[in-house]
Amino acid sequence: MVTPTPLMDLVTGFWSFKTFAAAVELDLFSKLAGGRTLTVADAERELGLPERPADLLFTACASLGLLERAGEGYRNSPLAEEFLVRGRPYYFGGQVSYCDQRTYLPWHRVGEALRADKPLTWDPASQESMFTTADPALLGTFWEAMHSTSIFTARALGEAVDLGACRRLLDVGGGSGAYPIELCGRFPALTATVLDLPHVCELAAGKIAAAGLTDRITTAPGDFLRDTALPGGHDVLLLSMILHDWDAATNRKLLVKAYAALPAGGLVIISELLLDADRTGPAPAALMGMNMLVETEGGRNYSDAEYAEWLAGAGFADIRTVRFDAPGANGVVLGRKP
């Protein structure tokens, strides 16, 4: 029997997110690290919360799979213990904070974006792109969000695609360096270069140093859209969560640059939330496309069939798709330069 219950789930989806975001803001999951248990009575001392809101928050977090009951109190679920404790390798709180602070309120005006076909989180009339801002704190939040999403996605990619025969990777628009950090840790013979804007390379250099990989990962300040060519000397080129930011024409041009930068036999990897060819889902890719409406001028999510067509047009061969499950991508499209 068809019921409106799924519609109610859609209507109240923001309840789940804002409950989750509030718990991250309170750093609740870090306070419960290592199996620690917290009761509602403890919440005023530990979190500054009176009994009623603490009870409501703990109950809601348990219902979402973030906490679990332990006697009279609550402790982290395995999901929260792994990904929501600050300092853990795959800490995901940066993504939660970014969406809460940067995109949540603009999404309230998504109807405006649909009618005007203009981003809501920045003003193209006064900013060069969404990646520049006068607010260093907001910019830092953005890159922490990207790192949160990328680091585990890179692990999933490394498990799905064997890069053991590759020697030098170019991460185009590599941001904080999450992909090279994770992939170089997995493949001992691999070295890497992060290509991004100068101020982003400074951030990446700090992450790389913290990971103890300065001898294997370098940065190359540049603008992959404006520069006439991409740096050479690499046998694998990665475009991770990059192409969804731009329109089809821009992406085709970038793939031509990628082809020119690679040697014969070189590998290109496109890592994205891929749409199905019939454009009916999956939901994470389709909804990321809606987020591109809110955050970019021409971005959208594409299917692996579209990427394959563009790769073939740029000259790549042996094109294939490899699927996996991760927050930033559900697969990669691979192509080789003949």
Active site residue 244: yes
Query: Is the distance from CB of 184 to CB of 155 less than 8 angstroms?
Result: no
- Alpha-carbon gap, residue 226 to 291, rounded angstroms: 24
Q: Which residue's structure tokens are 């649909």?
A: 114
**Contact at 8 Å (CB) between 174 and 150?**
no
The two structure tokens encoding residue 19 = 């409950």
User: Which residue's structure tokens are 């309840």?
Assistant: 15
> Which one of the listed residues 108, 199, 234, 244 is annotated catalytic?
244
Half-sphere exposure of 252 (CA within 13 A, CB side): 8
- The answer to whether the peptide bond before residue 282 is cis (omega within 30 degrees of 0) is yes
Q: Using H for helix, E for strand and C for coil, what is the string for 21-63?
A: HHHHHCCHHHHCHHHCCECCCCHHHHHCCCHHHHHHHHHHHHH
Q: Give the residue carrying structure tokens 């005007």.
A: 116
Catalytic residues: 244
